[in-house]
Amino acid sequence: MSSADKTILSVKNVKKHFPIKEGVFQKVVGQVHAVDGVNFDIKEGETVGLVGESGCGKTTIGRCVAGLEALTEGNIYFDLPSDKIALLEDSEKQDDKKVSAEQIEEIGNSYDIGKIEGDLFNHYRRNCQMVFQDSFASLSPRQLVSDIVSRPLRVHNVCPENEVIPRTINLLEQVGLGAQHLYRFPHQFSGGQRQRISIARALALDPKLIVLDEPTSALDVSVQAQILNLLHDLQKKRGLAYLFITHNLSVIRHMADKIVVMYLGKVVEAGNTEDIFANPQHPYTKALLAASPDLQSEVTSGMAALDGAIPDPARPPQGCSFRTRCPVAQPECGWEVDDVVRRLEHKDSIFNFLKEVDQSDAFNAKFTFETEAAANQLMAAMKSDDIPDAMKKMVSKLNCDAEHVTVSFKPAKTVPLIACGNGSSARCVLVNK
Amino acid sequence: MTQDSRTNSIVINGLNDSAFKVRLNRNLEIIQSVLANPTTVIGLVIVILMLMMALLAPVITEPNMPDPYQMPRDWQAARSAPLTPGHVLGTTNRGGDVYYGVVWGARTSLKLSLIVVCLTVVLGVTIGSIAGIVGGKVDEVLMRIVDVFLSIPELIFALAIAAILGPSFTNIILALVVVFWVKYARIMRAQVIRIKQRDYVDAARIMGDSKIQIYLKDILPNSFSPVMVQATLDMGNIVLVGATLSFIGLSEAGIAEWGVLVSEGQAGISAGRWWASTFPGLMVFLWALAFNLVGDGLRDVLDPRTETKR
Ligand SMILES: Nc1ncnc2c1ncn2[C@@H]1O[C@H](COP(=O)(O)OP(=O)(O)O)[C@@H](O)[C@H]1O
Ligand SMILES: [Mg+2]
């Protein structure tokens, strides 16, 4: 068991922001916070499941791990020896000055996939591969299966030329295909077979880790099960580690040893699969479980399924980002001026007359209306049932002066991931309360 | 060598054979669907006839020595009507044999269009690829240049350049190259930007292939279809524009070129000698039409998403 405990991938505070460009001059007008400070580890031979609704940044993390994206912030380390892991953990404790900046830099230069070069990077390339969601788009339509699957062997000169084709046949056999499929084009296969070809290509370099980005989401249910079983068998035979990305909770329960639940680019809950399914801590996880009909348990059966839209990832909410859809939101979740807009934007009688918003920060703003009546309506709405009680409690100032309305909230801190026993953690103010 | 490895190599040879067959089959399938369209077939038949005429010119006429691209002059038989013995399609008022001009004009047109298409495709694909791959400021500058070029009508632009360079066949080639490369640059840039986001390009990056290999193996082959379609259309357009420039007098007088012949025969039209202009004019029309029909047919098969031009 000790060798299986070796950490092969450490994702540390990874952020990936995409600039939003507008206009003729492509001016950067904002940043999509696709991934916003994510941490997790993958151990040798284990499956880490990454779940969350579409748009929460799962694919972006997968691409970062595969080395396709330059990180905005943070580090991804591959194959860190345990003493180096300890060193990094020491350095994260701010009061501990025992670890020098040079030591950290040295670790980065030999293990950080964004910094390593040459042979070290090649070593990483051979050890981390990816299988994409869209089996059609992931295979070049002009290449034969033989070219596609043998390509990694040729790129890395894994074997002499006369062994390439026998090895390619062997790879195809490992995924349930065979020599008779070598000389065909991808479009001559079914979706499930194409995904097998992708898997064969990913196996060619004998990697330790494969990123699987929704590998079965585009397939029929019966085919899905076959591919999942194949992945399971390959993992057992080869000791592969998977980063398994999906929005399907029953798939993740079947496949993953550990689960990382994401919401709006952040991890909201992480832990062992059984623990999370038996005892979800975060309201988002509970809602996700409630939304999967085949997975309802006593814990979640009373919980309403998720409603409302995901907030714009270019302007993620302060405090707890799930607050805007949370059925059990608390005062300390971090309410802000944007929540006023989110809650009341359907009220045309108010917002059709809005002239100007003078917002000094996320928590203070002055709304100016064209008419006094609209200003009064906003005042009334702020006191009505449209605004949850938890939010009302955090309003520190609410003034109406003719057509101006001033709104202020008590500032709130971001919610950290809190350990909740048995190794899981959740990002919610209710944990351990 | 063991029994095993020998069997393997036999298997490999057999399979490589089938790799060839599979590729051939796919190409045949494409050709089959191109031929399913009757208008394309009509275009293709005319194209083939034109090409045969161009290639067999020295066989079906006696080449005019020393330079067969110059019209032979038979001053005694000047202004003869078609079906005159020795001059099937008649002669011009300067004794040029119209039949010779029609046949060698095809050869001149093939030479012109092939040279121009090859140069413009190489130039346009290179510049478009650089813009699409490098992006940023480089892309912006290159595409502004392309926009400026595209904003001027083809014929007027070519005319202006050819006029500045002075009348000669080489200058017509130069003028046409300057005018015709921009479309390839724009097509290629759009294609490269589309294709480089494909998952198979990411897969190649993840397996660690080099940028050049990814360009050559993934991006270029998967971007090329619309370039091929445009090149086929341009085989026709170039001859049309080239003939127009020649007609205006920007080429060399006396060469066997359809535009030159039309202009040479023009003076006789009012006197009823229609043949000297009509036959070469008809050839230009048929050539341009045929390549456009084939190009449209190719587009329907290779690139079904783009709608037909205008
Ligand atoms: N290349 C990109 N440029 C700009 N925005 C992007 C890019 N890739 C992803 N995004 C944005 O980042 C967010 C997360 O996307 P993604 O990682 O694909 O989510 P998921 O895989 O969970 O559905 C989305 O809002 C998406 O629009
Ligand atoms: Mg995704």
What A415-418 contacts at long range (C-beta under 8 Å, 24+ apart), as own/partner pairs, is A415/A319, A415/A320, A415/A333, A415/A334, A417/A39, A417/A267, A417/A270
Q: Determine the pLDDT at residue B16.
A: 62
Last residue of a domain, one of A237, A261, A285: A261
Taking CB atoms and an 8 Å limit, are A137 and B200 in contact across chains?
A: yes
**Distance, CA of A79 to CA of A7 (rounded, Å):** 7
A394 and A253 belong to one structural domain: no
Which chain A residues are closer than 8 Å to B11 by Cβ? Answer: 179
Model-level pTM? 0.87
Q: Does A141 touch chain B (CB under 8 A)?
A: yes
Cα–Cα distances (Å) from A39 to A71, A84, B28, B241, in that order, read: 13, 17, 53, 63
A226 and A359 belong to one structural domain: no
Last residue of a domain, one of A228, A261, A294: A261
User: Angle at which helices A161-174 and A191-203 pack, to 10 degrees?
Assistant: 130
Per the domain annotation, does A284 fall within a domain?
A: no
Ligand closest to CA A213: 2
Nearest CA in chain B to A155: B209
For residue B22, the distance in angstroms to the closest alpha carbon of chain A comes to 7
Ligand closest to CA A31: 1
A16 CA distance to ligand 1 centroid (A)? 10
Report which protein residue has its CA nearest ligand 1's atom 12.
Answer: A34
**Distance, CA of A220 to CA of B278 (rounded, Å):** 64
Low-confidence ranges of chain B (pLDDT < 70): 1-17, 304-310
Q: Determine the pLDDT at residue A333.
A: 85
Structure tokens at A99: 């670890």
- Pick from A337, A334, A329, A381: which is nearest to A359 by CA? A337
* Structural domain count, chain A: 2
A261: β partners: A51, A269
Q: Does B306 touch chain A (CB under 8 A)?
A: no
A41 and A181 belong to one structural domain: yes
Per the domain annotation, does A329 fall within a domain?
A: no
Q: Determine the pLDDT at residue A10.
A: 95
A58 CA distance to ligand 2 centroid (A)? 6
- Pick from A265, A295, A299: which is nearest to A59 by CA? A265
CATH number of the domain that residue A76 is part of: 3.40.50.300
Q: Which residue has the tokens 């270019």?
A: A314
Cα–Cα distances (Å) from B76 to A410, B66, B82, B91, B234, in that order, read: 107, 21, 15, 10, 40
Report which protein residue has its CA nearest ligand 1's atom 3.
Answer: A18
Q: Does B4 touch chain A (CB under 8 A)?
A: no
Identity of the amino acid at A47: T
Per the domain annotation, does A423 fall within a domain?
A: no
Per-residue pLDDT of chain A (433 residues), as tens digits, is 445 589 999 999 999 999 998 877 778 888 999 999 999 999 999 999 999 988 899 999 999 999 999 999 999 999 998 888 888 887 777 655 667 788 888 888 889 999 999 999 999 999 999 999 999 999 999 999 999 999 999 999 999 999 999 999 999 999 999 999 999 999 999 999 999 999 999 999 999 999 999 999 989 988 999 999 999 999 999 999 999 999 989 899 999 999 999 999 999 999 999 999 988 989 999 888 887 766 655 555 445 567 777 888 888 888 888 988 888 888 888 888 888 888 777 777 777 888 888 888 888 888 888 888 888 888 888 888 888 888 888 888 888 888 888 888 888 778 888 888 777 889 988 887 7
Q: Determine the pLDDT at residue B8.
A: 42
A362 and A238 belong to one structural domain: no
For chain B, the straight-line distance linking the first and the last C-alpha, in angstroms and rounded, comes to 64
- Name which of B12, B200, B217 is nearest A139 (Cβ-Cβ): B200
CATH number of the domain that residue A399 is part of: 3.30.1360
- DSSP single-letter state for residue A220: -
Closest approach atom of ligand 1 to CA A247: 22
Closest approach atom of ligand 1 to CA A214: 21
Helices H, strands E: what count in chain B?
13, 0
A117 and A231 belong to one structural domain: yes
Nearest CA in chain B to A135: B199
Taking CB atoms and an 8 Å limit, are B206 and A201 in contact across chains?
A: no
A218 and A356 belong to one structural domain: no
Regarding the beta carbon of A59 and ligand 1, being less than 6 Å apart is answered: yes
Report which protein residue has its CA nearest ligand 1's atom 6.
Answer: A18
Nearest CA in chain B to A146: B19
Last residue of a domain, one of A261, A276, A307: A261
Per the domain annotation, does A325 fall within a domain?
A: no
The answer to whether A324 and A339 are in contact (CB under 8 A) is: yes
Q: Does B225 touch chain A (CB under 8 A)?
A: no
**Distance, CA of B196 to CA of B180 (rounded, Å):** 25
Taking CB atoms and an 8 Å limit, are B203 and A198 in contact across chains?
A: yes
Per the domain annotation, does A144 fall within a domain?
A: yes
A232 and A346 belong to one structural domain: no
- DSSP single-letter state for residue B87: B
Per the domain annotation, does A302 fall within a domain?
A: no
A219 CA distance to ligand 1 centroid (A)? 22
Per the domain annotation, does A326 fall within a domain?
A: no
**Distance, CA of A388 to CA of A340 (rounded, Å):** 10
Regarding the beta carbon of A56 and ligand 1, being less than 6 Å apart is answered: yes
Q: Which of A17, A32, A61, A252 should be mutated for ligand 1, with most atoms under 8 A from CB?
A: A32
Domains of chain B: 37-309 (1.10.3720.10)
Taking CB atoms and an 8 Å limit, are A179 and B23 in contact across chains?
A: no
Q: Which residues contact A299 (CB under 8 A, 6 or more apart)?
A: A278, A279, A280, A286, A289
**Distance, CA of B202 to CA of B198 (rounded, Å):** 7
Taking CB atoms and an 8 Å limit, are A142 and B209 in contact across chains?
A: no
Distance, CA of B161 to chain centre: 20
Structure tokens at B192: 């490269």
Question: Could you say which residues from 239 to 298 on chain A have a Cβ atom under 8 Å away from some Cβ of chain B?
Answer: none
Q: Determine the pLDDT at residue A140.
A: 95
Regarding the beta carbon of A57 and ligand 1, being less than 6 Å apart is answered: yes
Per the domain annotation, does A350 fall within a domain?
A: yes
A317 CA distance to ligand 1 centroid (A)? 17
Q: Determine the pLDDT at residue A347.
A: 77
Domain that includes residue A351, residue range: 335-409
